[in-house]
Amino acid sequence: MHSFYLKTLLNVLKARKLDVSLVFNNSGISEVDLESELNLTAQQLDTISTNALQVSTDRQLGLLVGSSMDIPSQGIFGYAIITSTTIGDALKLMVRYNKALLPSLDVKVLSRESRVEVLIKAPHLPDELKRFYVELLYAAIMRSGNTLIPKGKTSVHLEFDYDAPYDEAPYQQLFGAKVKFSSNRSVMSFDQADLELGIATANPVARDIFRRECDRLLSRDTHRGMVSERVQEVLLQSGTEFPNCMRVANQLHMSESTLQRRLAKEGYKFQQLLDQVRNKLANEYLTGTQLTVNEIAALLGFSDAANFRRSFKRWSQKTPTMVRNEAYVDNRTSR
């Protein structure tokens, strides 16, 4: 499932005469593995993508990779896209299967007034990796859209939750003039009417066949990641007292050693998942409530605020005060 993405990533790096062997460091795979069907964990993808950013030293690598992901290179997913009835159907399909392709992102499709939004969140990721994934996904959607319909026929608006780069020209060339930086969210939006445009290559019979095959691939990949997702659900539903690994294993009706072994196969450790949940909740408390840092530390199970601050800095490369101040500024700006 991930072979086409990694092949595209490597081709972009090779075109720049870079050493792609470094991309696979600490990932558990090599370039040879790309010749077979490959389904990676979120951690493996994050590791490879982080390595690629370090190799390239290009903050706009996501744009380059995403805009290089043409529909034919996406295999069965590409066929499902081009046989969709409308642009809206194709967009929903791309977002629907995103979890399998870029599992570290939380992607939602929302309707707001007369526009449809593709909203991306990933508060647990380092800023540079999150930016890479966001730009990759939006660029890939744009590339696919331009393949299905003539460029300029749709009204696309882009917002990014980070500062404008030194050179905005690549963004204008790819997405058009409606690009906004330093927003309080990362979102791509379309006019609702544009999504009703028909696709010339639509084929309902072929579409159903390709989508069933996509569902089969997705089901298999979801099964691989199911235990880690269930652990996170247990932790999120635990209230203010997080259970330890043994208690979570009991809730999932397995031994602690079995849980640890199955998490290891998915590329995770229990502490990693606990940190991700704590980081997610910490961001929500800091940006959505007036709770003090001491109160948030207590809710997240820390013995004192100092320990919470150190952990939060390690998770997000920012202090709690920085995150709260940024949210305050964003809220005032959006009014």
CA nearest 283: which of 271, 299, 267?
299
| pLDDT beyond 60 at 167 | yes
Percent of the chain with pLDDT over 90: 28
Q: 27-72: per-residue pLDDT in tens?
A: 888 888 888 767 777 778 889 999 999 999 998 999 999 999 877 7
Q: 90-141: per-residue pLDDT in tens?
A: 888 877 777 667 878 888 888 887 888 899 888 888 899 999 999 999 998 8
pLDDT at position 152 is 58
Q: How far is CA 130 from CA 106, 135, 201, 320, 330, in A?
A: 11, 9, 33, 19, 19
More confident call, 149 vs 309: 309
Give the contacts of 108 (CB within 8 A, at least 6 positions apart): 95, 118, 119, 121
**Once rounded to an integer, what is the mean pLDDT over residues 180-197?**
90
User: Which spans in 36-168 are helix H?
Assistant: 42-56, 61-67, 75-82, 87-96, 98-101, 127-148
Domains and their CATH numbers in the chain: 3-202 (3.90.1520), 270-335 (1.10.10.60)
pLDDT at position 288 is 78
pLDDT at position 1 is 63
| pLDDT beyond 80 at 263 | yes
| pLDDT beyond 70 at 220 | no
pLDDT at position 332 is 57
CA quadruple 200, 203, 209, 213: dihedral, nearest 10? 10
Sheet containing strand 179-180, strands side by side: 106-112, 115-121, 186-191, 156-159, 179-180
User: Measured on CA atoms in the order 73, 77, 80, 82, is the torsion positive or negative?
Assistant: negative
pLDDT at position 334 is 53
Cα 277 to Cα 300: distance, rounded to the nearest angstrom: 9
Q: 285-327: per-residue pLDDT in tens?
A: 888 778 889 989 888 888 889 999 999 999 988 899 998 888 7
Q: How far from chain centre, in Å, is Cα 138? A: 11
Overall pTM > 0.75: no
pLDDT at position 221 is 52
**Once rounded to an integer, what is the mean pLDDT over residues 133-157?**
80
Across all residues in the chain, what is the average pLDDT? 84
